Amino acid sequence: MKPFTHFMNPVSLILIILILPVFYSSMAEVLPPVLTSKSEQPPFMDGITRLYISYVCPFAQRAWITRNYKGLQEKIKLVAIDLMDRPAWYKEKVYPKNMVPALEHDGKVTGESIDLIKYMDKNFEGPALLPTDPEKAEFVEEMLKYSDTFLSTWYGSLKAEGPLKGALGTFDHLETSLKKFDGPFFLGETFSAADIAFVPLVERFGGYFKNELSYDVTSGRPNLAAWIEEMDKIDAYKHTKCDIDLYIQFANRVAGKK
């Protein structure tokens, strides 16, 4: 039998070396297990940077996408928490607000998803998520603020009357905003913090519309359709997608339906 190295001529070796990182970067990361009230606290303040998340939380997903997009998988360790069966040490020792996301970095723990996008962008390497151009920077800030309105309108209308009436205007607002720099992203060709702020919300609310109300949020909204299509090509996001059935169950409980 010929030895394995027989196939390893210099050309195939170079090809493997070139292709392997591309292949590896598009592979889904093996995610850590979800820690519950019975789980021991992982090491803390030992110089390792940790991002505390829940796999179902849209706010945690924002920080998680940021970490992935900036290529920080090796530098920022994920710690997944079960929000329904939260470990006591999380509130007591890690983050007194007892919420996710939270980032343990440089001897302190900070939270709030939008702040964390900005913090990671400023303090770590990787592609910039906030523009330096003043007009674009102002627009990103405007969109980040609007993501709160998008969220509160959704839950307000879900509770009051069902989302078809109340939330449609907010999807129209996204459609118009995506035109400003000619898409497909909010800043045109450049992916930014604004895309990260909205994608976990659009994923969930759009999924609810589709599955529960047979309504496609992209119909009549070509910019939104193109945005979702582009977002779905981004591994940093793709690997963080939620289980939409779990979200639908949650939203129906909020709506008092089931």
Ligand X SMILES: N[C@@H](CCC(=O)N[C@@H](CS)C(=O)NCC(=O)O)C(=O)O
Positions that interact with ligand X (CB under 6 A): 54, 57, 59, 83, 98-101, 111-113
Nearest Cα residue to 173 out of 211, 229, 223? 223
Q: Which residues pair with 51 in a beta bridge?
A: 78, 103
* 75 vs 86 by CB, closer to ligand X: 86
* 113 vs 153 by CB, closer to ligand X: 113
* 54 vs 223 by CB, closer to ligand X: 54
CB of 83 to ligand X, least distance (A): 6
CB of 74 to ligand X, least distance (A): 24
CB of 172 to ligand X, least distance (A): 24
CB of 98 to ligand X, least distance (A): 5
* 108 and 123 Cβ atoms separated by less than 8 Å: no
* 102 vs 183 by CB, closer to ligand X: 102
Dist CA 170 CA 151 (whole Å): 9
